[in-house]
Amino acid sequence: MSASSPVRCKRLLRLLKKQQLEAMLVSNPVNVSYLTGFTGEDSLLILTKDRSILLSDSRFETQIQEECPELEADIRTSGQSLYQALSKLISKLNLSGIGFEASETSFAMWQQLDSDLKNISLVPTRGLVEELRQVKDAGEIAELREAIEQAEKGFAVLQASLVPDMTEQEAANELEHTMRRFGAKGASFDTIVAVGTRAALPHARPTSRKLGEAGFVLIDWGAVNQTGYHSDLTRVLWTGRLSSKLTKVYNVTLEAQQKAIAAVRPGISCREVDRIARSIIENAGYGKKFGHGLGHGIGRDIHEGPRVSPGSETILEPGMVITIEPGIYLPEWGGVRIEDDVLVTKEGYEVLTSVPKELEISRWG
Amino acid sequence: MSASSPVRCKRLLRLLKKQQLEAMLVSNPVNVSYLTGFTGEDSLLILTKDRSILLSDSRFETQIQEECPELEADIRTSGQSLYQALSKLISKLNLSGIGFEASETSFAMWQQLDSDLKNISLVPTRGLVEELRQVKDAGEIAELREAIEQAEKGFAVLQASLVPDMTEQEAANELEHTMRRFGAKGASFDTIVAVGTRAALPHARPTSRKLGEAGFVLIDWGAVNQTGYHSDLTRVLWTGRLSSKLTKVYNVTLEAQQKAIAAVRPGISCREVDRIARSIIENAGYGKKFGHGLGHGIGRDIHEGPRVSPGSETILEPGMVITIEPGIYLPEWGGVRIEDDVLVTKEGYEVLTSVPKELEISRWG
């Protein structure tokens, strides 16, 4: 159990109280891990004012003792299904009602509880733990810094190793392998290595196209550290001669990114940050070529709150960590996206990532 | 769309008919992919007697055209939530009822549909597509053979590269990297490399313990190929002098595995195959040290049906592919598990994996 787990549980209890709830069933494993420090699977957390109980099975008995000794563990027997054990546990707690995660609880689980627990009202809740997770504490920011360092060290090795004959797929493999050598658990998502026209697809998968086949390559990558925190960056590297088109598209994207980053501070809305980047791209005539939101929170999930998009009303708070990643995608030519990870501080912002992004030095080969 | 998709959809329709259902909403992305060949995310399949409709968004428009051109695509607009679009689509189909996947549909999705679709009965179904997926067709068996080949080639390189100073973590990284070089999408699960006493934990995570620190190391690994099919193997390698304890434990485990494999044929129950291995281990006095089921199906999931365990009534059929992986775990000493992937054939079985497992030649260093 990390030192911050009791604080996080208390915060959740405060959110529950606002909704007149005395207890909560947490079924999303990422949320369970956030609240308890437990890193295993197939386990559910029940949180009440006085108790934190982890319902698990014998595979994880030792691990629970090691990772979260303060937690009550309810180890179900092998003959008992998870749902049966859950109903039994809840019914013993003398509750009149319990909240559950509406988007993270299957219909099947809900149906079983609903039929077993006649006298307890099951109350669907939405995004409560996710709301807490939007604001990172000091320990989490340190974890994110580590995931970023792993990603950046890996990228530095890759960049130094690039040769024209290497394929997108080989580059993606090398990058993931190198990040692991620097301590990462793995890549935080399927690495994108997209040469030339392939870069026009925001979610391109690596192919056997060779890096030397076009004048530039877009790389979107990140590391997940051993605790499960994710980093997320994008850079475009060019080779040969720098075309005027790449120069133009790149500089518009970079300006949009820099102005948006400069606007990050507590109190500004996510939609406003998105608007700042989007208007620069629109004014340059590429408005329709930027078809996704400006960014998203990162943490235990690679995509989490807050969304930074035209429709996002969320107000930035100190401790939020978001990506800022404007892009311009021109079918048949290619695309440019530049992405950094930004912490909202009390005073404004801190860019956590540090891979150089000036076009002049983003050269390889 | 793979050539076999229409056949799979027809089989599902036959299962639906037995339950008096005229349509089905498929929300598990692995099931959607199995039925359509589509490999993207956040998309739902609606299957009726006459139509197969994939509800997706603009990110995947091109990909759907490429991967499954015969499918009707319903591309929701960016302003429309998935649930809204889904309700709208279903309500246009003139259905009186539709099945949904009870374990793969969130309470939130069900609640939205239930409130939007007053005149259509929503019928929970359990494991219908999973039941079909238990029996692999020829194309799937070829995919599994490829995933096995990637895993075995990777292991051969790792085995040739082992040095006493290498850590469990480094060995796991090397293996994953090498499997990718042989074309794998990645490891099919977190690779287990467990030196000496660590091998007593069936789900050990790689640490910084060095391979040379004990007389043997257990490696449990697999590859997932680009289409998403998983392989799963376990071997124990020894170094230095072969102890009599390892010899004894290994040979009991190997005999249990070989006898269980030899029993695989259409018509036998999974519990009976489990019993054959388990009784050999029990007779050797290690019954309580074999605390998990004998095996599981592999395919698009690393764990899928049929389960091969004491409680599994499933009868083996040609086309099922299962792991056979007995283990003996002795706390403070270590453990042995030997695992191969076995296809049920019309005549009996075919062991798809081929890494040698005789103790005498399972030596490194």
The tens digit of pLDDT for each residue in A233-286 reads 999 999 989 999 999 999 999 999 999 999 999 999 999 999 999 999 999 999
Domain boundary at B109, B132, B155, which? B132
Q: How confident is the model at residue A77 (pLDDT cuts 50, 70, 90)?
A: confident
- Residue of chain B minimizing CA distance to A190: B185
Considering the domain architecture, whether residues A187 and A296 belong to the same structural domain is answered as yes
Interface confidence, given as ipTM, is 0.90
The tens digit of pLDDT for each residue in B80-93 reads 889 999 999 999 99
- Residue of chain A minimizing CA distance to B175: A177
Mean pLDDT of A213-223: 97
Which residues pair with residue A8 across a beta bridge? none
The tens digit of pLDDT for each residue in B303-348 reads 999 999 999 999 999 999 999 999 999 989 999 999 999 999 999 9
Phi then psi for B296, rounded to 5 degrees? -160, 160
Phi then psi for B240, rounded to 5 degrees? 75, -130
Q: What distance in Å separates the CA atoms of residue B193 and residue B11, rounded to the nearest whole number?
A: 40
Q: Is the pTM of this model over 0.80?
A: yes
Considering the domain architecture, whether residues A305 and A248 belong to the same structural domain is answered as yes
How many C-beta atoms surround the C-beta of residue A265 within 10 A?
Answer: 15
Structural domains in chain B (count): 2
The tens digit of pLDDT for each residue in B243-276 reads 999 999 999 999 999 999 999 999 999 999 999 9
Considering the domain architecture, whether residues A146 and A234 belong to the same structural domain is answered as yes
Residues 6+ apart with CB under 8 A from A245: A333
Considering the domain architecture, whether residues A125 and A100 belong to the same structural domain is answered as yes
Give A 196-235 residues with CB within 8 A of chain B: 201-203
User: Which pLDDT score, from 0 to 100, does residue A296 have?
Assistant: 98
The tens digit of pLDDT for each residue in A157-169 reads 999 999 999 999 9
CATH number at residue A167: 3.90.230.10
How high does pLDDT run on average in chain A? 95
User: Which pLDDT score, from 0 to 100, does residue B1 have?
Assistant: 44
* Orientation angle between helical segments A5-18 and A29-36, nearest 10 degrees: 120
Amino acid in the structure at residue A130: E
How many C-beta atoms surround the C-beta of residue A187 within 10 A?
Answer: 24
Residue of B101, B106, B182, B190 to mutate when probing chain A, most A C-beta within 10 A: B106
Residues of chain B under the 70 pLDDT cut: 1-3
Q: How confident is the model at residue A203 (pLDDT cuts 50, 70, 90)?
A: confident
User: Which pLDDT score, from 0 to 100, does residue A3 have?
Assistant: 65
pLDDT of residue A184 exceeding 60, the answer is yes
Distance from CA of A163 to the nearest CA of B (A): 17
User: Which pLDDT score, from 0 to 100, does residue B35 have?
Assistant: 96
User: Which pLDDT score, from 0 to 100, does residue B343 have?
Assistant: 98
Task: List strand residue ranges (DSSP E) for A160-270, in order.
Answer: 186-187, 192-195, 216-221, 223-224, 233-238
Considering the domain architecture, whether residues A81 and A144 belong to the same structural domain is answered as no
Q: CB distance B59–A203 less than 8 Å?
A: yes
C-alpha R_g of chain A: 23
How many C-beta atoms surround the C-beta of residue A119 within 10 A?
Answer: 8
Nearest to A28 by CA among A91, A102, A85: A102
Considering the domain architecture, whether residues A129 and A188 belong to the same structural domain is answered as no
Domain boundary at A107, A133, A159, which? A133
Q: CB distance A102–B107 less than 8 Å?
A: yes
User: Which pLDDT score, from 0 to 100, does residue A172 have?
Assistant: 97
How many C-beta atoms surround the C-beta of residue B251 within 10 A?
Answer: 13
Considering the domain architecture, whether residues A65 and A197 belong to the same structural domain is answered as no
Amino acid in the structure at residue B97: G
B103 contact residues in A (CB cutoff 8 A): 106-109
A121 lies in which domain range?
5-133
B126 contact residues in A (CB cutoff 8 A): 108
Considering the domain architecture, whether residues A256 and A329 belong to the same structural domain is answered as yes
pLDDT of residue A102 exceeding 80, the answer is yes
Residue of A65, A106, A115 to mutate when probing chain B, most B C-beta within 10 A: A106
User: Which pLDDT score, from 0 to 100, does residue B201 have?
Assistant: 87
Distance from CA of A360 to the nearest CA of B (A): 32
Query: Does A177 contact B at CB distance below 8 Å?
Result: yes
User: Which pLDDT score, from 0 to 100, does residue B199 have?
Assistant: 94
Considering the domain architecture, whether residues A148 and A127 belong to the same structural domain is answered as no
**Residue A23 is inside which H or E element, if any?**
strand A23-26
Domain boundary at B63, B98, B132, which? B132
Query: Does B65 contact A at CB distance below 8 Å?
Result: no
Q: A138: which DSSP letter?
A: H
B338: left (phi over 0), alpha (psi -120 to 50) or beta: beta
CATH number at residue B82: 3.40.350.10
Q: What distance in Å separates the CA atoms of residue A113 and residue A120, rounded to the nearest whole number?
A: 9
Considering the domain architecture, whether residues A57 and A148 belong to the same structural domain is answered as no
- Residue of chain A minimizing CA distance to B177: A177
In the sheet with B52-57, reading across from the earlier edge strand, the strands are: B72-76, B52-57, B44-48, B23-26, B97-101, B121-125
Considering the domain architecture, whether residues A292 and A168 belong to the same structural domain is answered as yes
Considering the domain architecture, whether residues B12 and B111 belong to the same structural domain is answered as yes
User: Which pLDDT score, from 0 to 100, does residue A1 have?
Assistant: 44
Q: 3-class secondary structure for chain B? A: CCCCHHHHHHHHHHHHHHCCCCEEEECCHHHHHHHHCCCCCCCEEEEECCCEEEEEEHHHHHHHHHHCCCCEEEEECCCCCHHHHHHHHHHHCCCCEEEEECCCCEHHHHHHHHHHCCCCEEEEECCHHHHHHCECCHHHHHHHHHHHHHHHHHHHHHHHHCCCCCEHHHHHHHHHHHHHHCCCCEECCCCEEEEHHHHHCCCCCCCCCEHHHCCEEEEEECEECCCCCECCEEEEEECCCCCHHHHHHHHHHHHHHHHHHHHCCCCCEHHHHHHHHHHHHHHCCCHHHCCCCCEEECCCCCCEEEEECCCCCCECCCCEEEEECCEEEECCCEEEECEEEEEECCCCEEECCCCCCCHHHCECC
